Structure 1
C-alpha cells in the first residue's frame, strides 16, 4: 500500500478526488482489519451468510481495490474530468458496499438477498444497485485501458492490460454469483442460495487482484533498477503464472 501511495506522489501532485480515494481506501482496509480482530476475539463461524468474515474480506478487498484503481487509472489516457467523476462515483460506491455488509454483520443478519425486513430490503437493494454501478465504472476504466494508449513503459503496459482483462473476468464471475443467488433465493430457498451462490469465489478473488499484483511487480522491478527488457520478460512470466493460478482457481470453483 505504501508503495502505491509513494508511486502516486512521485507521479505528481494528487488531485482532491485522488487524495479522498486513497484516504477512503486506507479507512476501508482498516475497517476490514478491525473486524478481523473482532472475529478473533468474538469467535463464531468464519463461513456462512452471518459472520465476521464478510466485513473483514469486503473491507480489505474494497479498500485495496480502491487504492489500486486510483493508482493505475493514472496511466490511462483519459480526460481529468472524466477520471475524476468515475473515481468519485467508485469511491462512494465502495463505501456503500462495505457499509451495507458491515451494518448487516453487526445486526447478525445476511446482507445479500435478504428482504425479510424493510431495512434489510433497503440494504439488499442498495447493495445490488451499488454492484451494478461498480461493474459499469470498472468496465469503463478497463475498456479505456485495453483499447486506448497507456502512459507507461512496455512491461507496465503489459501488466496493466493483463490486470484489467482479469478484472473483467472477476466482474463476470461476480455477476454470475449474484444472478445464481437471486434465482435460487426465489426458486429454491434462502438457505440454498446462501450456501451455493458463492461457488465462484476462488476464481473471483484471484482474478480481482491481478490489477494490483502485476503492475506492482513492474514498478517494483523498475525501482530496483532492472532494465526494461528484463522487466518485460519477468512481467510476461508473472502474467502467465497468474493466468495459470486463475485457471486453477476456476477449476476449483466448478468442481
Structure 2
C-alpha cells in the first residue's frame, strides 16, 4: 500500500515533461501490445524485417525504456533534465512511428535504400539512434555525479545507466554494420548481422528499469542499508552474467 501511495505521489509531483513522458510511454507500449495481437491473430511470420513483430518489439521496448528513464532520472541531480528527457521522448515517438509505418507499408524500416522515401526513413532512424546515445550519456554522467542518494539506489542507477549506454552503443554498431552492408549490395546479410546482436541489446536495454526498481522496493523492507546495497551488488552481478550469456548466444 505504501509503495502504491508513493507511486501516486510520483505522478502528482511530476513535472510536465515527466507526465508527458509517462503518457507517451503508455501509448508506445499499447502500440506494441496491439501489434502483438495483430501478429498472433494474423498468423504471419515472427521472423524477418517485414514482420509485425518489429512494430511490436519497438513499441514495447521504447514504452518500457521511456517510462523507466523518466522515473529513474527523477532521482538525479541534473540541470538539463527537461531538455534531455524531452529529446528522448520525442525521438522515441519518431523511432516507433517510422518502424510501424514501414511495417504496414510492407517494406524494411532499417537498411532500406530502395526509394528516396525509404532512404530518408533509414537515415532518420539512424540519426535518432545518435540522439538517444547523447541523451543517455548525459544521464549516465549525471548518475555518477549524484551523491545525495542512498548507496543502494546510487549503485542501482549508476549500473543501470552504464548498461543502458552500452546497449545503445551495441545498437549503434548494429546500425553502422547494417548500413555498410546494405550500401555494399548485401541487404540480407545486413539484417542477419544486425540481428545477431539483438539478444545483447535487448537484455542490456532494460537494466535501467530493473535495477532502480529493485533498489526502490528494498526501501520498503526492514533491512539495513548495508544489506540493501549488498543485494543490489548481487543483482548487478547476476545481470552482468545475463548479459554475458546473451553475448555467448549471439
Normalising TM by the smaller chain, what interval?
over 0.9
Aligned partners of 1:36 and 1:230: how far apart in 2? 40
Aligned partners of 1:7 and 1:159: how far apart in 2? 19
Q: Which residue of 2 aligns with 1:138?
A: 136
**Secondary structure, counterpart of 2:182 in structure 1:** helix
Q: Which residue of 2 aligns with 1:28?
A: 28
| Contact 1:66–1:91 (8 Å) recurs in 2 | yes
| Contact 1:55–1:101 (8 Å) recurs in 2 | yes
Q: Which residue of 1 aligns with 2:87?
A: 89
After superposition, the Cα gap between the structure-2 partners of 1:153 and 1:8, relative to the gap in structure 1 and judged at 3 Å, is farther
Report the TM-score when normalising by structure 1: 0.92
Q: Which residue of 1 aligns with 2:225?
A: 228
Q: What is the Cα deviation at residue 179 of structure 1?
A: 1.0
Q: Deviations over 1:185-204 (max 9, x none)?
A: 12241111122222111111
Match of 2:245 among 230, 240, 248: 248
Q: What is the Cα deviation at residue 119 of structure 1?
A: 2.3
Aligned partners of 2:5 and 2:71: how far apart in 1? 8
| 1:217 paired to 2:214 | yes
After superposition, the Cα gap between the structure-2 partners of 1:5 and 1:186, relative to the gap in structure 1 and judged at 3 Å, is farther
Q: Which residue of 2 aligns with 1:57?
A: 57
Aligned partners of 1:123 and 1:184: how far apart in 2? 17
Structure 1 unaligned residues grouped into runs of 5+ = none
Match of 2:126 among 125, 128, 141: 128
Q: What is the Cα deviation at residue 5 of structure 1?
A: 9.8
Match of 1:164 among 149, 161, 166: 161
Report the TM-score when normalising by structure 2: 0.94
| Contact 2:11–2:19 (8 Å) recurs in 1 | no
| Contact 1:184–1:193 (8 Å) recurs in 2 | yes
Q: Deviations over 1:211-244 (max 9, x none)?
A: 1111111111212343212211111111111111
Q: Which residue of 2 aligns with 1:208?
A: 205
Q: Which residue of 2 aligns with 1:186?
A: 183
Q: Deviations over 1:120-175 (max 9, x none)?
A: 222112111111111111111112212x0244211111111111111121111111
| Contact 1:4–1:68 (8 Å) recurs in 2 | no
Structure 2 unaligned residues grouped into runs of 5+ = none
| Contact 1:8–1:14 (8 Å) recurs in 2 | no
After superposition, the Cα gap between the structure-2 partners of 1:151 and 1:45, relative to the gap in structure 1 and judged at 3 Å, is farther
Q: Deviations over 1:52-90 (max 9, x none)?
A: 1111110010011101111111111112xx111111111
**Count, aligned residues:** 248
After superposition, the Cα gap between the structure-2 partners of 1:10 and 1:124, relative to the gap in structure 1 and judged at 3 Å, is closer
| Contact 2:181–2:187 (8 Å) recurs in 1 | yes
| 1:77 paired to 2:77 | yes
After superposition, the Cα gap between the structure-2 partners of 1:103 and 1:10, relative to the gap in structure 1 and judged at 3 Å, is closer
Match of 1:237 among 216, 234, 238: 234
After superposition, the Cα gap between the structure-2 partners of 1:7 and 1:156, relative to the gap in structure 1 and judged at 3 Å, is farther
After superposing on structure 2, the runs of 4+ consecutive aligned residues of structure 1 that deviate more than 4 Å are 3-6
| Contact 1:75–1:151 (8 Å) recurs in 2 | no
**Secondary structure, counterpart of 1:115 in structure 2:** coil
